[in-house]
């Protein structure tokens, strides 16, 4: 056997899909099959990186992909041709908002500056100029279509090396002829899978509405995706789910989904910036108010500023919690900062609320009758009270203050599964977080074909 010199390549892909067709994870799955035929060695699972969900120009799920491989010298051009060919063939190039980007990076180690770029693309705003500057500086190659915005996500996917928390997703794809038709998967088997694999899989079903959430709704080629803690558990879960239509292929991806990677802790309310996602503390300064369409809005302040916090109707349980807050409650809010309309306060669209301390709810009531125990009736301001039952009058009595028991409890509350963002860490994952060290080894069959 002749040993050939091996070289490393990182391939980043982004923004090939639209609301009407395609999916960058599918192009990646096709590329995995092609690369396998070229005898490359996969250095890691393909990575599916969700970028900042609050950029105004985002695509559907704002997910970018990366493949990391070792290949024999001399195969570079074949590999690049395969990637570019698939992007050209499967991107929705006629769609206005679709601007694919492909990045090839041949350094063995990812430079710190590119890792930092990835972090910024997940938590904030980055520019195309910055991306192309870095690609030039470190000798990468980029191919952009149309306005080339996809290069940003493609580079970010290359730069995210999972040094903090990460998860996995097994995605099963449909036959081309079924795309656009109703997805056929046995719902009972999905509930069973959730039951048998929890807490090591997450976001399978919405327990409030008894609804399956692993099947997307759009015309994309995804039949379903199972998210979990390890490649083994998502494969195990996949064996339990019963698809009622053929599965064309499936792949296990490594991902930042379900890790809260988009959230940044901010020290004071006057430091909030639009388009970011934050964790910030404050004291409820205005009572919750119900606005049309059953949204709940309350305000918090911390001495440096005041912001509105909004719990929208689909947040379910979170909205109920928000409704029961009172002025004085100490909370930590998690969510996306929205730019205010003229003259209004900034708004945090809530993904989670942590109630740190509940204020005592004081209610002022009429006193009770000392003769018969019935609550007295007021005879008018400053005129005392009278018992309606026994007729006794109490001219000197005053209202009494009592502390009413709060229905709320301190603790963490998360938006319902159906309204969680890809990046939101669900309650089920608390305590299961991984702490860097990258991905250890790979299981044998992580994709078919
Ligand atoms: Zn009485």
Cα 365 to middle of ligand 1, angstroms: 16
pLDDT at 54: 85
Cα 224 to middle of ligand 1, angstroms: 67
Cα 172 to middle of ligand 1, angstroms: 73
Cα 396 to middle of ligand 1, angstroms: 15
Q: Give the H/E segment covering residue 277.
A: strand 277-291
Alpha carbon of 384 to those of 184, 365, 393: distances in Å? 71, 13, 8
Cα 390 to middle of ligand 1, angstroms: 4
E runs forming strands in 175-276: 201-202, 205-206, 211-212, 222-228, 247-255, 263-265
Per-residue pLDDT of the chain (449 residues; tens, 9 = 90+): 455 678 999 999 998 887 777 789 999 999 999 999 999 999 999 999 999 988 876 555 668 999 999 999 999 999 999 999 998 888 887 888 888 899 999 988 999 999 999 999 999 989 999 999 999 999 999 998 888 789 999 999 999 999 999 999 999 999 999 999 999 999 999 999 999 999 999 999 998 889 999 999 888 899 999 999 999 999 999 999 999 999 999 999 999 999 999 999 999 999 999 889 999 999 999 999 998 878 999 999 999 999 999 998 777 889 999 999 999 999 999 999 988 877 788 999 999 999 999 999 998 889 999 888 899 998 888 888 999 888 889 888 888 888 988 999 999 999 988 888 899 999 999 999 998 765 567 888 999 99
Cα 371 to middle of ligand 1, angstroms: 5
Q: Please tell me the number of Cα atoms within 13 Å of 200 on its side-chain side.
A: 13
Q: What is the distance between the alpha carbons of residues 53 and 152, in angstroms, rounded to a whole number?
A: 14
Helix then strand then coil, % of the chain, to nearest 5 = 25, 30, 45
Q: What is the distance between the alpha carbons of residues 395 and 163, in angstroms, rounded to a whole number?
A: 72
User: What region, left, alpha or beta, does residue 94 occupy, with left being phi > 0 and alpha being psi -120 to 50 degrees?
Assistant: alpha
329-351 b/e (C-beta count within 10 Å ≥ 16 → b) = bbbbbbbbbbeeeeeebbbbbbb
CA-based torsion, 65, 71, 74, 78: positive or negative = negative
Q: Helix/strand/coil (H, E, C) string of 22-71? A: CCHHHHHHHHHHHHHHCCCEECCCCEEEECCCCCCCCCCCCEEEEEEEEE
Residue 315 has which token pair? 């947040």
In 3D space, the residue among 362, 345, 347, 353 whose CA is nearest the CA of residue 322 turns out to be: 353
């Amino acid at each position: 056997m002749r040993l050939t010199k091996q070289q490393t390549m990182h391939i980043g892909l982004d923004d090939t899909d639209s609301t009407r067709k395609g999916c960058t994870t599918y192009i990646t799955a096709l590329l995995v099959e092609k690369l396998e035929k070229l005898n490359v060695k996969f250095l890691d699972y393909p990575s599916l990186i969700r970028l900042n969900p609050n950029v105004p120009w985002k695509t559907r799920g704002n997910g970018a992909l990366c493949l990391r491989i070792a290949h024999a010298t001399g195969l570079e051009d074949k590999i690049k041709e395969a990637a570019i060919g698939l992007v050209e063939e499967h991107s929705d190039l006629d769609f206005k908002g679709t601007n694919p980007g492909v990045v090839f990076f041949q350094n063995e180690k990812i430079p710190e500056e590119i890792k930092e770029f990835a972090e910024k693309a997940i938590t904030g705003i980055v520019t195309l100029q910055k991306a192309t500057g870095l690609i030039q500086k470190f000798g990468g190659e980029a191919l952009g279509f149309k306005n080339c915005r996809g290069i940003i996500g493609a580079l970010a996917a290359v730069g995210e090396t999972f040094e903090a928390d990460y998860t996995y997703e097994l995605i099963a794809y449909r036959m081309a002829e079924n795309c656009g038709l109703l997805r056929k998967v046995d719902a009972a088997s999905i509930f069973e899978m959730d039951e048998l694999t929890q807490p090591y899989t997450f976001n399978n079903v919405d327990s409030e509405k008894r609804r399956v959430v692993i099947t997307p709704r759009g015309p994309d080629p995804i039949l379903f995706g199972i998210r979990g803690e390890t490649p083994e558990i998502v494969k195990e879960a996949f064996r339990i789910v019963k698809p009622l239509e053929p599965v064309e292929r499936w792949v296990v991806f490594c991902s930042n989904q379900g890790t809260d990677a988009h959230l940044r802790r901010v020290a004071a309310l006057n430091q909030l910036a639009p388009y970011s996602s934050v964790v910030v503390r404050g004291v409820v300064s205005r009572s919750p108010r119900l606005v049309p369409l059953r949204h709940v809005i309350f305000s918090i302040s911390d001495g440096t500023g005041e912001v509105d916090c909004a719990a929208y109707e689909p947040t379910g349980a979170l909205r109920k919690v928000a409704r029961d807050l009172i002025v004085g409650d100490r909370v930590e809010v998690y969510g996306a900062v929205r730019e205010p309309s003229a003259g209004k306060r900034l708004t945090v669209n809530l993904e989670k609320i942590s109630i740190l301390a509940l204020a005592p709810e004081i209610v002022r009531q009429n006193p009770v009758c000392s003769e018969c125990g019935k609550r007295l009736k007021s005879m008018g301001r400053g005129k005392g009270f009278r018992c309606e039952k026994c007729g006794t009058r109490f001219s000197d009595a005053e209202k009494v203050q009592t502390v009413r028991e709060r229905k709320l409890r301190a603790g963490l509350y998360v938006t319902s599964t159906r309204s969680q963002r890809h990046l939101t860490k669900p309650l089920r994952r608390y305590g299961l977080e991984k702490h860097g060290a990258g991905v250890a080894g790979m299981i044998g069959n992580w994709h078919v074909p």
